[in-house]
């Protein structure tokens, strides 16, 4: 009787249109996909755009790149009523239709740290009502929420999330609903599937039960209602990437060139302790990858990869192996993949020795801000809040002043805070500073710059060490 029942179960549907037909006006939909274009369930998204359902509440890491079949297509089609995401905007990406609608008050936006988003989804799928997290304490995202202390440490109460639907993107699936994911593309798929009343998985290949080995089933069929074969494959050779300024670009202060972005990264790399776990943020921190060979440093990325290697060759890469910045990377002996809940368990639990992030501002007391500026309608937190509160050390790499010449090292942050009192090291294009006994101290300056010049470019009080070194000497000296 049991075997007959198993044979009769069939969760395969014939087309993406058939899979999404009951996503009605006002539905809530969790949409997987990472970065600007990595493994979005594009076939399902396009089918929903064709269906035209309105006033949707969409949960996602970010809507993805405008002009492509990512979740942003639904914003362009004016189908969204509410967006709950870690990103509504990304630095360097042109203003999107979603941002326009948020600014006009047409689209409600709730920004949620990436780790908090997946944990709230996991809790919803587990039948829990809420979770307490240290993420966002002291920031605008904690305002109006319950704060409770455990062992003297503050935690924010975050309510669990459940959704009507989840759109997933898998590698292989069978008619029982078992889904195999691949490489770094696990990310949000697992927690989103668990939180949804109806989880729909778009897969590259549909196979018979048993063809996915039991130990390779990443999402058991109990969590999946429908499986459909993908009808759209994005060209991985032309994936839109987050634009970065050239690694060799450098600002000029007082008529003198400061360190280039790759030189900032090179100096920062030498500050990382060998044999430790490290997370590198997007932008300048990401460039540190080029200077770690032979150091025994194990890199962690929020999308769910540990101990990855260097950037992959532009013509020879695996589309499912990328870092949290979206750049394709290589694997090596010891590399492991996992989904985002596990990734943020690593991040929040103190297992990361150092997190290196960029910032718009760093304050004298160690606060920093890196997810929104006053001109943004929304913002982009990503995993920064979770990483900053969990790591044993937080290093900021950035240019000393912004493009308007304003100091980024300030007495008090005027931009929305990412985390409170966590920054212990700052590497800029003109100085290396460490926070000692609660005060930042100049340890090194860039060649050609004096301590007085650095102080004049700095918007907060800094002390000076007894011997101030030269930043370039650290990596130029044999």
Q: Which residues are catalytic?
A: 302
Cα separation of 11 and 73, whole Å? 27
Residue pointed to by tokens 């949960």: 59
Cα separation of 150 and 400, whole Å? 37
Burial 244-283 (b: 16+ CB within 10 A, else e): beeeeebbebeeeebbbbbbbbbbbbebbeeebbbbbbbb
Cα separation of 74 and 78, whole Å? 6
* Torsion on CA atoms 430, 431, 432, 434, rounded to nearest 10: -140
Contact 433, 440 (CB under 8 A): yes
By the 10 Å C-beta count (0-12 exposed, 13-18 middle, 19+ buried), 10 is classed as: exposed
Cα separation of 449 and 384, whole Å? 31
Question: How far is CA 32 from each of CA 102, 230, 346, rounded to the nearest angstrom?
Answer: 21, 14, 21
Residue closest to 319 by CA, chosen among 33, 62, 70, 38: 38
Name residue 179's beta-bridge partners: 173, 219
Task: State in Å, rounded, how far the first CA of the chain is from the last one.
Answer: 74
Tokens of 133: 């997290």
By the 10 Å C-beta count (0-12 exposed, 13-18 middle, 19+ buried), 236 is classed as: middle
Angle, CA 219 vertex, CA 211 and CA 347 arms, to 5°: 130
- Largest alpha-carbon pair distance within the chain? 83
Contact 129, 106 (CB under 8 A): no
> Any residues with CB less than 8 A from the CB of 55 and at least 6 apart, and which?
25, 26, 79, 80, 81
Residue pointed to by tokens 């103190």: 350
């Amino acid at each position: 009787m049991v075997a007959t029942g198993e044979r009769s179960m069939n969760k395969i549907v014939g087309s993406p249109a058939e899979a999404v037909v009951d996503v009605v006006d006002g539905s809530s939909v969790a949409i997987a996909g990472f970065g600007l274009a990595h493994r979005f369930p594009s076939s399902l998204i396009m089918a929903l755009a064709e269906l035209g359902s309105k006033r949707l509440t969409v949960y996602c890491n970010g809507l993805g790149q405008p002009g492509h079949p990512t979740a942003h297509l639904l914003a362009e089609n004016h189908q969204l009523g509410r967006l709950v995401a870690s990103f509504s905007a990304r630095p360097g990406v042109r203003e999107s239709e979603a941002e326009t609608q948020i600014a006009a008050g047409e689209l409600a936006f709730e920004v949620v740290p990436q780790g908090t988003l997946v944990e709230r989804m996991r809790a919803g799928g587990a039948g829990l009502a809420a979770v307490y997290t240290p993420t966002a304490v002291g920031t605008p995202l904690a305002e109006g929420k319950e704060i409770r202390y455990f062992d003297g440490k503050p935690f924010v109460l975050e309510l669990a999330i459940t959704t009507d639907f989840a759109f997933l993107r898998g590698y292989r699936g069978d008619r029982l609903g078992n889904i195999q994911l691949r490489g770094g593309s696990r990310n949000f798929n697992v927690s989103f599937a668990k939180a949804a009343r109806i989880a729909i998985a778009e897969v590259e290949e549909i196979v018979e039960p048993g063809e996915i080995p039991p130990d390779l089933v990443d999402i058991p069929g109990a969590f999946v209602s429908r499986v459909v074969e993908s009808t759209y494959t994005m060209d991985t050779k032309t994936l839109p990437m987050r634009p970065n300024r050239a690694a060799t670009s450098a600002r000029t202060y007082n008529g003198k060139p400061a360190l280039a972005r790759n030189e900032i990264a090179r100096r920062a790399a030498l500050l990382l302790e060998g044999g430790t776990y490290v997370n590198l943020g997007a932008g300048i921190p990401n460039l540190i990858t080029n200077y770690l060979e032979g150091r025994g440093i194990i890199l962690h990325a929020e999308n769910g990869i540990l101990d990855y290697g260097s950037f992959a060759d532009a013509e020879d890469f695996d589309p499912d192996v990328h870092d949290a910045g979206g750049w394709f990377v290589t694997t090596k002996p010891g590399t492991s993949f996992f989904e985002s809940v596990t990734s943020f368990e690593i991040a929040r639990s103190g297992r990361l020795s150092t997190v290196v992030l960029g910032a718009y501002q760093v304050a004298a007391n160690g606060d920093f801000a890196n997810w929104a500026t006053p001109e943004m309608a929304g913002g982009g937190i990503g995993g920064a809040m979770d990483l900053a509160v969990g790591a044993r050390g937080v290093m900021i790499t950035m240019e000393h002043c912004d493009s308007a010449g304003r100091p980024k090292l300030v007495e008090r942050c005027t931009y929305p805070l990412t985390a409170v009192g966590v920054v212990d090291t700052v590497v800029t294009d003109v100085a290396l500073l460490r926070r000692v006994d609660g005060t930042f101290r100049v340890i090194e300056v860039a060649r050609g710059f004096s301590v007085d010049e650095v102080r004049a470019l700095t918007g907060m009080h800094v002390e000076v060490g007894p011997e101030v070194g030269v930043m370039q000497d650290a990596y130029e000296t044999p």
